[in-house]
Chain A
Amino acid sequence: MTEQSSSRIDQSAAVAGYASALDVEPKGPTVMNLDQVSVYYGDFRAVRDVTMPVYEHEITAMIGPSGCGKSTVLRSLNRMNDLIPTARVEGSISYMGVDLYGPNVDPVEVRRRIGMVFQKPNPFPKSIRENITYGPKIAGIAKSEWPALVESSLRSAAIWDEVKDRLDDSALGLSGGQQQRLCIARAIATKPDVLLMDEPCSALDPIATGRIEDLMQQLKDEYSIVIVTHNMQQAARVSDHCAFFTTEVDADSERRTGQLVEFSETTRIFSNPSDERTENYVTGRFG
């Protein structure tokens, strides 16, 4: 890590905290804060020392080459990594000031507040309606509210008009792009604060990708979004802030470990990055 990038990050970390508006460059409040986060799989440190904020009602993109740990970091933001028995998180990840890995935190509640959309559309082999009501049902939301919730979630995900006449058909009959929007609607239906998206367009064609990107712009009025993407143009198009990760051989283990190189406004990352590695990556000289 270079002097320059670490000092930038340390500054923002120093003032990290929910509703803190004292960032170096005045920003909205943060909804999440990562401080010196490392994630291990067994003895292997997959990614190390990630310090960055997630701003409210913004889209934060994580970019970088394969194996740089961006998905790993994303999945630790709502404790999905807990599902992997050997995974372990060091450092602190807080949501509205609460340490997500604190002793009194229930990972299931975390996932209800911080929803997730996966790389490959993964609708349940159930009807479109049942896909949407799955979350509300387990959250104990009254059955009388479900119909309105189904409509509002599907509208928010810009898929209502396409499916309103076949809500009881199997979700597996939808196209890939429709399935992914259904999955977004399903995630929204539990009314989370934060939406994590793990390369949500990598299995989609350009038209479906465009629709999802438009959708994200609409969603950020209500949600804070963190997106992992392989696609630099996508990060440049949709995100407000951008985190660039890369891999580097770890001195301790001599294995490739991911690390955060630079976190900044997206315009800055793409036009005037502080770190040479970022510049090489975004200009296509590396990765």
Chain B
Amino acid sequence: MAPNPERLLRANPRRQLKERLVKALVAAAALLSVLISIAIVASLVVRALQFVTGLMAPTADTMDEATGPVSLWNLVADQWAPRFFEFGIGTLIVGSLLVTVIAMALATPIGLGAAIYLSEYADARVRRIVKPILEVLAGIPSVVLGFFALRWISPNLVQVIFPSAGGQNLLAAGLGVGLLTIPLIASISEDAMASVPDALRQASAGLGARKRRTTLSVVLPAAVSGLVAALIVAVSRAIGETMVVFLAAGASGNSAQFTANPLDRGSTMTAAMASQASGTDGTISELGFNSLFFVGFVLFVITLLLNLLADRFVRRVRQSY
């Protein structure tokens, strides 16, 4: 009996249904995560707008005895104290900037140095052991580093070098955040340098270049986009870091005086949001509460821009060599 080709080739409706079901499930998962992100951004934007309009239209509740009705001018106050309608967001932005600059000043040379060692100098055995350790370090809970910054870095380092510094200061917080970002920079940079083809190192060595020269003139330039991406990711992480600053920078309660001096106590956008949201300030007004979303929105915009920038560089790294 000849086989019936039509039967052999017939589609199996049950299998087709299963296939469609799986596709729908994973599509739903993807859609959900996008929707959640959009919802978060939307809630930020709505509340931030409410905050701004609240500033523009003062009511009896938003009247301060000392300073009078609120207005957009309150955004440039010389302190951050939502309880008193002092929304000097510059205080927080400068605080974040200080912490980030200090963190990067510590983490960039150490992180890049570690990456260069691991990628170019360490033998395979050392790399196999050290690289995973670095990645574990990147996972240390930031609250631990916050305590370390507060209880060790500040008294044993900052206050020893600068006796005028208080127990809590932006410098100690920045150094703590820097420790947090070292493994991040080292790990991503090492990946970028390891992806530089070995043929280029050989070409350089074949022309009579020493290792140092090959690293500086061939490997680093070839990996530069990846290295910049690593630094931008690290900056995003430093700006977004909350717990270390919350513990070690030490603006008490929910107010911070404007300062550009890293030895002063201060606050960052993230730490201010945390202290506000954690409710240590019970008597906060709706306007004050909404200011949290405004700060969050500013932070979101800054990190979004940084991530877009990082994405650009990562794209470029894929194109070269």
A residues at B contact (CB < 8 Å): 78, 80, 83, 85, 108-109, 111-112, 115-116, 118, 120, 122-126, 134-135, 138-139, 172, 183, 186-187, 190
CB-based contact A80/B202 at 8 Å: yes
CB-based contact A126/B210 at 8 Å: no
Q: Which residue in chain A gives the minimum CB-CB distance to B210?
A: A108
Roughly how many angstroms separate A108 CA and B213 CA in the complex, as a whole number?
11
CB-based contact A187/B206 at 8 Å: yes
B305 adjacent to chain A (CB < 8 Å)? no
Contacts of A83 in B (CB 8 A): 201-202, 205
23 of the cross-chain contacts (CB-CB < 8 Å) are: A83-B202, A83-B205, A85-B123, A111-B205, A111-B206, A111-B207, A116-B202, A116-B206, A118-B206, A122-B199, A122-B200, A124-B204, A124-B218, A125-B200, A125-B221, A125-B321, A134-B204, A134-B209, A134-B217, A135-B208, A138-B213, A172-B321, A190-B207
Q: Which residue in chain B gives the minimum CB-CB distance to A111?
A: B208
B320 adjacent to chain A (CB < 8 Å)? yes
Since A108-B210, A118-B206, A134-B207 are in contact, a sample of 4 more A-B pairs with Cβ atoms closer than 8 Å, ordered by chain A residue number, is A83-B201, A111-B206, A122-B199, A124-B222
B109 adjacent to chain A (CB < 8 Å)? no
Least CB distance from B185 to A in Å reads 23
CB-based contact B208/A139 at 8 Å: yes
Give how many B residues have a beta carbon under 8 Å from the other chain's beta carbons: 22
Known: A80-B202, A118-B203. A126 touches B197 (CB 8 A): no
Contacts of B217 in A (CB 8 A): 134, 138
Least CB distance from B206 to A in Å reads 4
CB-based contact A124/B123 at 8 Å: no
CB-based contact A138/B207 at 8 Å: yes
CB-based contact B199/A108 at 8 Å: no
Least CB distance from A27 to B in Å reads 28
CB-based contact B199/A118 at 8 Å: yes
CB-based contact B203/A138 at 8 Å: no
Contacts of A118 in B (CB 8 A): 199, 202-203, 206
Contacts of B204 in A (CB 8 A): 124, 134
CB-based contact B202/A108 at 8 Å: no
Contacts of A186 in B (CB 8 A): 203, 207
Q: Which residue in chain B gives the minimum CB-CB distance to A136?
A: B207
Which of B202, B208, B209, B210 has its CB near the most chain A CB atoms (within 10 A)?
Answer: B208
Contacts of A80 in B (CB 8 A): 202, 205-206
